[in-house]
Amino acid sequence: MGAPDAGVYVHLPFCPYICPYCDFAKWAWDEGRAAEYLIALRAELDAAPRVRARTLFFGGGTPTTYEPAAIGALVDEVRARFALPAGAEITAEANPDPSLAARLGALRAAGVNRLSIGVQSFEPGELRVLGRRHTPDDVRDAVRAARAAGFTNVSVDLIFGVPGQTEESRGASLAAAVALGVEHISCYGLTIEEGTPYATWFARDPAAFAGESREAAMYALAIERLRAAGFEHYEISNWARSGSRSQHNAIYWANDPYLGLGVGAASYLDGVRSSNTRDLGEYRRAALAGTPIPGERERLEGPAQLGEAIMLALRTAEGVDLVAFRERYGIDVNERYRDVVGDLVAAGVLRADAAWLRLTERGRFVANDVCGAFLVS
């Protein structure tokens, strides 16, 4: 069997500062540590299993804290080692700090052709609560600079459920994001992650945080406003202009292979889902020694594999293509999951016919529960 086609994810975990709600594998920028990390990353890349890259995604952390030349060198290495085709989608996550604009020309020249900017909100008070140091004007400057640098595919991330956020301020942020003229918008609900300063705050004062019903109202607002603005709601948390869906994330939702490189990065190859350790020292030592990176490994097979594939596909607007599913997994979903499908359809959260299974509009609000029902069956 030849090398599989796969999305390639590269984790660059350093940030100029640390946000109090964040649970990603990330560390405050330190020149020395950041340089050492690149050496370890290259060692892991050299020893990684062969894949034919379909897309490349730099996530973090804040990848753009590295100089564009460092990212360009990684692009070249991925191209050389994993045959990333010319024209493939290459995304970098970025923070709209004032220093970003000046880097974008070099980043584009380095081969990055899609920018995903962590905006989170356009309300200065909410940005302060989130611990973000950029301003709404920084965001506008960054998008202007991205256009000037030749980026034709720009995405922004927004967070809903920020303490103190109202429907009005949320609506204003959505309107400001639309007014930027970007191709793609992701909206995520704030989650309280154990061990973060937000978890301590939540334990002390849960009333400061939006409950489920307020979060649902804000999600509904995003659906309504972004649809009215002509965006396609193509995945639970993602909206795109026509032709601008994230090709890299589509690989995850299709349950197709991906290779993750870097501390905490996840892979799915040959039916095995794995994730690298989130311990930076442990990661570095193993990568430099050429020994397997410690972490978790699980072969997905049988009901776990099917449930996972259905759960991922249901996140998308297209849902589960039953014919393609039968061809790929040898399973008739309507038959195998007859009771689950029947219950969810009766509850009004799932639509089913002979060719497709899809979440209903209502189902999108309880997507985790609906998708989870296939995992335990």
Rule CB under 6 A: which residues touch ligand SF4? 15, 18-19, 22, 24, 26, 60-62, 95, 118
Which of left, alpha, beta for 295 (phi over 0: left; psi -120 to 50: alpha)?
left
CB 139 within 8 A of CB 117: yes
For residue 174, report the phi and psi dihedrals to the nearest 5 degrees: -65, -40
- Indicate the residue among 118 and 264 with the shorter CB distance to ligand SF4: 118
| Type of residue found at 240 | A
- Indicate the residue among 100 and 226 with the shorter CB distance to ligand SF4: 100
Shortest spacing between CB 263 and ligand SF4, in angstroms: 12
- Indicate the residue among 196 and 360 with the shorter CB distance to ligand SF4: 196
- Indicate the residue among 184 and 233 with the shorter CB distance to ligand SF4: 184
- Indicate the residue among 26 and 108 with the shorter CB distance to ligand SF4: 26
Token couple for 102: 């000046």
**What is the dihedral sign for C-alpha 40, 41, 46, 49?**
positive
Neighbours of 38 (CB within 10 A): 14
3-state secondary structure of 32: helix
H-helix or E-strand spanning residue 169? helix 167-179
Shortest spacing between CB 261 and ligand SF4, in angstroms: 17
Shortest spacing between CB 63 and ligand SF4, in angstroms: 10
Shortest spacing between CB 19 and ligand SF4, in angstroms: 3
- As a whole number of Å, the end-to-end CA separation of the chain is 32
- Indicate the residue among 238 and 316 with the shorter CB distance to ligand SF4: 238
- Indicate the residue among 65 and 255 with the shorter CB distance to ligand SF4: 65
* Residue number closest to ligand SF4, CB atom: 22
Contacts of 179 (CB under 8 A, 6+ apart): none
Shortest spacing between CB 210 and ligand SF4, in angstroms: 18
- Indicate the residue among 61 and 295 with the shorter CB distance to ligand SF4: 61
Q: What order of strands is seen across the sheet that includes strand 184-189?
A: 232-235, 238-240, 184-189, 154-160, 114-120, 90-94, 52-60, 5-12, 258-261, 266-269, 272-276, 295-299
Shortest spacing between CB 18 and ligand SF4, in angstroms: 5
Q: Cα angle at 322 between 236 and 1, to 5 degrees? A: 95
**157 to each of 40, 133, 184, how far by Cα in Å?**
29, 15, 9
Shortest spacing between CB 42 and ligand SF4, in angstroms: 22
Query: How far apart are the C-alpha atoms of 79 and 92, rounded to whole Å?
Result: 16
Shortest spacing between CB 297 and ligand SF4, in angstroms: 25
